[in-house]
Amino acid sequence: MKREKRAIPEFESEIEEQAFWSSHDSADYVDWEKAGKAIFPNLKPTLKTISLRLPEPMLNRLKMLANERDVPYQSLLKIFLKERLDRELEK
């Protein structure tokens, strides 16, 4: 027997909403069996600028590979890091 779902309260701010959902089970408020798949095509991941010291020969090799692939070297570095992280997390 399914329980009746509670009404989601109105929130005055995003912080208030975050606090609410961190202490309440969404299953009490949302019928997830009826939920559809949402697609958010315009969302961009949050980026954080970091400082990374690389040996000059390594940076030169990275730039050379990036030039061969016609991509910015920072983008190629992100691709390499993502591939390695994915491999490590598969273990």
* pLDDT tens per residue, range 44-82: 888 889 999 999 999 999 999 999 999 999 999 999 999
Residue 9 maps to a domain: no
Query: Following DSSP, what letter does each residue of 19-79 receive, concatenated?
Result: HHHHHS-GGGT--GGGPPPP--TT-------------HHHHHHHHHHHHHHTS-HHHHHHH
d(C-alpha 3, C-alpha 50), whole Å: 48
d(C-alpha 7, C-alpha 59), whole Å: 55
Residue 69 maps to a domain: yes
Q: Looking at this protein, which amino acid is placed at residue 53?
A: R
Query: Total structural domains in the chain?
Result: 1
pLDDT at residue 42 above 90? no
Q: What is the reported pLDDT for 1?
A: 59
Calculate mean pLDDT across residues 30-52.
Answer: 88
Residue 21 maps to a domain: yes
Among residues 43, 42, 50, the alpha carbon closest in space to that of 78 is found at 50
Whether pTM > 0.85 for this model: the answer is no
